[in-house]
Amino acid sequence: MVDSPHTCTLVLGGARSGKSRHAEGLCRESGLSKLYIATAAAHDSEMEERIDAHKSMRAAEGWQTIEEQHDLAGKLASSLASDRIALVDCLTLWLTNRLLADADLAAETDRLCEAIERRAGPVVFVSNETGLGIVPENALARRFRDAQGILNQRVAALSTHVHLVAAGLPLVLKEPNS
């Protein structure tokens, strides 16, 4: 799926759907050197263990890893190159980090989309599809769900490929000339 430096792929899915595994596979198939931009923050010991396990796996597979919980647009601008593929995992955790930092989510989305348009190399984004569940009970959760939906739509519009993963099975929603 990564056919040129201009390729941008969005992989959507629910929690534990296999979206990250699918995105990693797309990066491996590219044959390019691999950069992993991790957006998770460890707020408890269980999350710390998950992050450590992922770091070990990526190191064993030759990924270069950059951790960036907030300035994703800046990291994309400074890290992408046409001779390597970047995987951003994931937009949902990045958006959560920005929400908890009381950032202007519309401005952050604009800034990220501008960085995507100016990027120098292929990139794969992972994001949760949060709009398939019930309407959240509280205002903060509804604000997040709405911001996530808008972010996903904007990144999908800029992407050459969009996949939805459910039960480990990818469904192609968008590809060139479709």
Domain boundaries, the chain: 8-174
**With b meaning 16 or more CB within 10 Å and e meaning fewer, what string describes 22-53?**
bbbebbbebebebbbbbbbbeeeeeeeeeeee
DSSP H or E run through 45: helix 45-60
The first and second tokens of residue 136, run together, are: 């959240």
* Per-residue pLDDT reduced to its tens digit, 104-132: 999 999 999 999 999 989 999 999 999 88
- What is the pLDDT at residue 82? 86
Dihedral sign of CA atoms 72, 73, 75, 80 in order: positive
- What is the pLDDT at residue 5? 61
Q: Is 163 a known active-site residue?
A: no
For residue 42, pLDDT beyond 80: yes
Query: Catalytic pick from 54, 70, 161, 163?
Result: 54
Q: Return the CATH number of 8-174, one of 3.40.50.300, 3.40.50.720, 3.40.1350.10, 2.70.98.90.
A: 3.40.50.300
pTM, two decimal places: 0.93
- What is the pLDDT at residue 4? 65
Angstrom distance (rounded) from CA 54 to CA 159: 26
- What is the pLDDT at residue 132? 85
* Per-residue pLDDT reduced to its tens digit, 77-110: 888 888 999 999 999 999 999 999 999 999 999 9
